[in-house]
A and B are shown apart, each in its own frame.
Chain A
Amino acid sequence: MAKAWKFQNNINTDQIIPGRYYPRENVEELGEFCLCELHPKFAKEKQKGDIIVGGSNFGCGSSREYAPIALKYSGVKCIIAKSFARIFYRNCINLGFPILVCKECYDEITEGDDIDVNLESGEIKNNTSGKKYNAQPLPEFVLKIVDAGGMINYLKEQANSENTNEV
């Protein structure tokens, strides 16, 4: 079972990982503090594979890559939101951390619902309500990076392919 944790509009990077929790030598520890002040219950009870459902402008604010890193190491499988802030979106893509855009999910999914997400197809199923959704497809260029498993792997693939002009 993948539990949905619900967050509002405009969740900012200071909330995802407040500045005073980093820098630290072992970034994996940031997972423990992810969203800890905004949603202490989430911080305490989250399970590996759980899903965050957010509103619009998720991840707004600073460019700190510690925010998606904290989410990644919190064990969350993916974030489904109405929309994402630009730098956060790009950071997630670069790290290969899955994010999905789905407007209806925010309106119709309740915290605690049991959710299945197929990251490859973008299909989202709410087992609690029985409803199904399709996430917006990623832009073509972004999809290539995601398929490669992040920006560094993408560049490696590009360098290995015949067409190395772009790197």
Chain B
Amino acid sequence: MGTLTEEIFSRKLGREVKAGEIVWVELDRIMSHDTMSWLAIEAMRKVSNELGIEAKPKFPERIVIPFDHILPPANIDQAKMQRNIMNFIKEHKLPHFFQEGVCHQIMIEKGFVQPGNIIIGSDSHTCSYGALGAFGTGMGSTDVGIAYATGRTWFRVPESILINVTGEFQEGVYAKDLILKIIATLGVDGATYKSLEFRGDAITRMSIPERITLCNMAIECGAKAGLIEADEKTVEYLQGRTTENVDINNNGIIKANNGNYEQTFNFNISELEPQIACPHDLDNLKPISEVEGLELHQVFIGTCTNGRYEDLEIAANILRGKRVNRFTRTIVIPASTEVFQKANESGFIKIFQDAGCIVCNPGCGPCIGRHQGTMASGEVALTTMNRNFKGRMGSPEAEIYLGSPAVCAASAIEGKITDPRKRREE
């Protein structure tokens, strides 16, 4: 008996586990990306030395290293760091190394995330994996390095908050609008140390990409994980994506079982309108009607939150045959090579380029302010990212607004914040 979180830990440990317990767990996967792997490698060496064990990854096949944050490197230091990590990967024959998209998208689309898995990553948006019913959480490089060396880490099993979602989205309203609303309702520290468990008929109807958008942003209200029970859609999504070590049938599908929820929030999405998170925190959320017309210098569509095929399809349908405002730098970055190629086959890439967008290689792009769209003082951006923190995309005097791919696409055409429902009516 327990929440989905407790059930996942109970299954893993083979005994009933309750929230609040400190448990040691053997991890199914350990993910680290280009900017954090080197610190993790150093931590692995240090802990191995202290423990008197050989300094090498205990389970090389469980480690996944996607380069994404600065891909390809934008300066000499970054190139050197990435080369050092690659030498480590070569030395230890780590089988899972990628340079083809955002780490979380790689983890999910290449089958490294299975229902019931417990996974840590050197990135706060590791909580995305809850979309497939896996407990994923972000940790720092010391924890990741220790996990490299020992295959394990400790958790305080979190209490859960239930997010019950009913109703149907209106035309032009998406999972992104919902998660922005949920975060602003709970507050940016409203779920600190907790799991968010999403449930309800609206969640059941959502596609896996929509579920990823929800779980991806659980960290933005402080949550340790965002979780959705795996179902037929999950199993269907994973068909053909699983790797040699995983078996959906053996893992089974774990469901919550009469757990105790610390809090329950009910959302009916039928009346929800497009939402915009305004600078410089996600608490500062406004319905689009209150910010329409704001001039934009940059629009960015992509990231682990909204860079999937389905997101690009929404944007392409709005941008087809149109031009973006020529003074609004519009950047489109597919979340992975798989997404890029599929979008290309569907003609979306051509639509973006014909519209005057800058289409970059898969990766994190300007989300961390280091390349491919770093912003100047006084510039205003609207993006599909998950954070609008001051200084995140470059100058601390730049402003970042967050919205759905539909809002971003419609706004790029006008060069100002535009309600996608109005554009469609034209």
Contacts and interface: CB of A to CB of B under 8 A. Distances in A.
Interface of A: 10, 12, 14-15, 18-20, 22-25, 27, 37-38, 56-57, 60-66, 68, 83, 85-87, 90-91, 94-95, 139, 141, 150-153, 155-156, 159, 166-167
A61 B139 contact: no
A163 to B, nearest CB: 12
B139 to A, nearest CB: 6
Contacts of B374: 20
Contact of A37 (B50, B188, B391): B391
Contacts of A37: 390-391, 396
B51 A167 contact: yes
B22 A141 contact: yes
6 contacts: A63-B139, A63-B140, A83-B189, A94-B142, A156-B47, A167-B51
Contacts of B219: 87
A15 B389 contact: yes
Interface stretch (B73-81, B266-274, B414-422): B73-81
B77 A24 contact: yes
Nearest to B158: A86
Contact of A86 (B24, B50, B51, B192): B192
A95 B192 CA distance: 21
Contacts of A150: 142
Nearest to B149: A155
Contacts of A24: 77
B51 A156 contact: yes
B192 A23 contact: no
Interface of B: 22, 24, 35-36, 38-39, 43, 46-47, 50-52, 77-78, 80-81, 121-124, 126, 138-143, 146, 150, 152, 154, 156, 188-189, 192-193, 219, 222, 224, 281, 283, 368-370, 374, 387, 389-392, 394, 396
A20 B370 contact: yes
Contacts of A56: 189
A144 B123 CA distance: 26
A36 B43 CA distance: 27
Contact of A25 (B80, B189, B368): B80
Contacts of A90: 139-140, 143
Given A90-B140, A156-B50, A167-B152, 14 more contacts: A14-B369, A15-B391, A20-B374, A23-B35, A24-B77, A62-B138, A63-B121, A63-B123, A63-B139, A83-B192, A85-B192, A90-B143, A91-B139, A152-B47
Contact of B188 (A10, A91, A139): A10
A63 B39 CA distance: 12
B47 A14 contact: no
B392 A91 contact: no
Nearest to B46: A152
A90 B146 CA distance: 13
B33 to A, nearest CB: 10
A77 to B, nearest CB: 21
Nearest to A12: B389
Given A20-B370, A22-B35, A91 B140 contact: yes
Contact of B150 (A10, A86, A87, A167): A167
B370 A23 contact: no
Nearest to B126: A63
B392 to A, nearest CB: 5
A87 B138 contact: yes
A100 to B, nearest CB: 17
B146 A65 contact: no
A61 B124 CA distance: 7
Contact of B222 (A57, A62, A159): A57
A57 B192 contact: yes
Contacts of B193: 86
A152 B124 CA distance: 21
A62 B81 contact: no
B146 A19 contact: no
Contacts of A155: 47, 50-51, 146, 150
B139 A87 contact: yes
Nearest to A153: B50
Contact of A38 (B50, B51, B192, B396): B396
Given A60-B222, A153-B50, A167-B150, A65 B391 contact: no
Given A23-B77, A38-B396, A57-B192, A151 B150 contact: no
B370 A19 contact: yes
Contacts of A20: 369-370, 374, 394
Nearest to A18: B391
Contacts of A85: 189, 192, 222
B395 to A, nearest CB: 9
B159 to A, nearest CB: 12
Contact of B387 (A14, A91, A152): A14
B13 to A, nearest CB: 13
B73 to A, nearest CB: 10
B385 to A, nearest CB: 12
A19 B369 contact: yes
A94 B396 contact: no
Contacts of A22: 35
B32 to A, nearest CB: 10
Given A25-B80, A64-B140, A152-B146, A159 B51 contact: yes
B12 to A, nearest CB: 16
